[in-house]
Amino acid sequence: MAGFDAVLVGSGINALTAAALLARDGWSVCVLEQSDRLGGAIRTEEGYTRPGFTHELMSSWHPLFVGSAAYGELGDELHRRGLEYLNTDLPTGTAFPDGSGMVLHTSLEANMAEFDRFAPGDGAAWERQFDKFMANADLSFGVLGTELWSGAGLGLGQQALRRFGRRGLLEFAGHAVTSCRDWTTATFASEEARGLLAPWVLHTGLGPESAVSGFMTQVIACALQLGGMPVPAGGGNRLVEALAGIVRDAGGALRTSADVERILVADGTANGVVLAGGETIGAGRAVIAGVTPTQLYGRLLDARDTAVEIRDAATRYRYGRADLQIHVALDEPPRWRGPDAERLGRTAIVHVTRGLDGVSRAVNEAERGLLPTEPTIVVGQPCAVDPSRAPAGKSILWLQLQELPAGKVLGDAAGELDVADGTWSETLREAYADRVVAHLDNVIENVSSAVLDRRVLSPADLERLNPNLVGGDPYAGSCALDQNLLWRPFAASPGHATVVDRLWHVGASTHPGPGLGAGSGYLVAKALTKPALRRRVLAKLPGRS
């Protein structure tokens, strides 16, 4: 039986980051990926539509990773292996049906002027919210970067209590669970400002009326001003290759087409895995599973290895709204309509929506099982940041629709499309993509005439590409409050340490949730390499270093 210190199931951003950190710390590691390539939700395809056009099939944008502790620690090594990040001073914007547009800059002063353009006084409101957020950014980002069920999590709570006092802490926590609707309407006078910010709740798996969505909107808005919208030059696979390079250079193993069938447990301790076909790989110190709770407790662990309450809770784990991706090759760059066309053309991600109420309506329709009449369209323009993604003079669009029913489609809110039996057939997939492109015609004048080719990935297609995207949920589980923060993945088994000794759980299904931030992989790697208490105490004694 081959043996390693750590075996990692899956090769998403969290598993690869954990593997790189452990390998760098002297651990022998083995990464096992069931598909034919590493990367999880990072999947770069050159020629996916036409030769010379490079598309990111799923995840595309890397602001969370560039702002992460993992990047702060591994960045130099990643760059030595060829990773280069490109950025923009216009990370996001919104195009409205009346032809107007609003953008968010990486400059506080530019943003104040932009907010004032639609409602005098909103610029000062933006500055106030930014300053107020940054005054406690260590706590806000700390919540998303700390193992909450740990001494560090307790320490973060004590830090907040010392800073605010009991009443102040309750007020701070109360603000943290407010909805995006309540926060944006209380803060900004213009509908445009609300429409600029509200679509970002979709990228956190929430809706504008969801608890915590106001806090997450602030986190994202401030992070975009601070860090922009970076992408790896040439494609996200460059990050995957660089992380894998750290593992290989340290003697670690990375295997694709290696489907883990079962995690081996003896006397309550994980000690290896069995692959489909029967091969056994030992793990002397840790097994790290980058899978959903459904897979972990329903497939990989024997029922005898976990309590019935844990297994039952895992079966009740809920998945969120589904996603649909459209990848378009264009004969020329998109030409936006209206007076803000030039700036929108330089913006990394533009949301097309009527605003806060438009997002709310589409979310509501999707959560009732309906295809939204007027979805929020996430228009990613990778060439605005990295022109190498298309031949000279050409362009691509990365379109994301995050307001689709979880499970079967029960109907069409517009009453136009026949959903048949509710499954994502090729006919339904292409018909809904046609609706999306028709909406884009209202804001991009050449979106139809410039199309060279397009390919659409339905929720069913996305799950086939990555089994963690259950039902096409890009965030590997609902981010409702009972499955978020302290309670992710679920209350019976929160955090990353599981009830099985030496078995750890990472990925979007775990805290701090979805996004390419590598947070769970980093937290687990740090927990595993943390010096023993005796060594930490001795290191603090006089004369020690």
pLDDT digits (tens, 9 = 90+) for 123-159: 999 999 999 999 999 998 888 899 998 899 999 999 9
Distance CA 176, CA 168 (A): 12
Burial environment of residue 448 by CB neighbours within 10 A (0 to 12, 13 to 18, 19 or more): exposed
Looking at residue 149, its pLDDT comes to 87
Q: What is the structure's pLDDT at 528?
A: 97
Residue with tokens 């069920």: 149
**Alpha carbons within 13 A on the beta-carbon side of 361:** 14
Q: What share of the chain is helix, strand, coil (3-state, %, to 5)?
A: 40, 20, 40
**Backbone φ and ψ of 325, nearest 5°:** -115, 140
C-alpha torsion sign, points 73, 388, 35, 483: positive
Q: Which of 325, 318, 273, 349 is nearest to 465 (CA)?
A: 325
As a whole number of angstroms, the distance between CA 11 and CA 34 comes to 9
Provide the whole-model pTM.
Answer: 0.94
Angle made by CA atoms 319, 325, 331, in degrees to the nearest 5: 170
| Residue 540 confidence (pLDDT) above 90 | no
Instruction: At 377, list the tokens.
Output: 């369209």
Query: pLDDT of 467-478, one tens digit each?
Result: 999 999 999 999
Of 392, 41, 90, 329, the residue nearest 230 (C-alpha): 90
Share of the chain above pLDDT 90, in %: 91
Contacts of 152 by beta carbon, 8 Å cutoff, 6+ apart: 146
pLDDT of 538 above 50: no
Give the 3-state secondary structure of residue 318.
coil
- Cα separation values, 209 from 69, 214, 299, 373, 545, Å: 30, 9, 35, 19, 51
Residues 6 or more apart whose Cβ sits within 8 Å of residue 167: none
Per-residue pLDDT at 536 exceeds 80: no
DSSP symbol at 429: H
* pLDDT average, residue stretch 53-78: 96
Q: Which helix (H) or strand (E) element contains residue 360?
A: helix 356-367
- Full DSSP string of 409-424: --EETTS-S--TTSS-
The span from the CA of 494 to the CA of 525, in Å, is 17
Q: Tell me: the pLDDT tens digits for 272-331?
A: 999 999 999 999 999 999 999 999 999 999 999 999 999 999 999 999 999 999 999 999
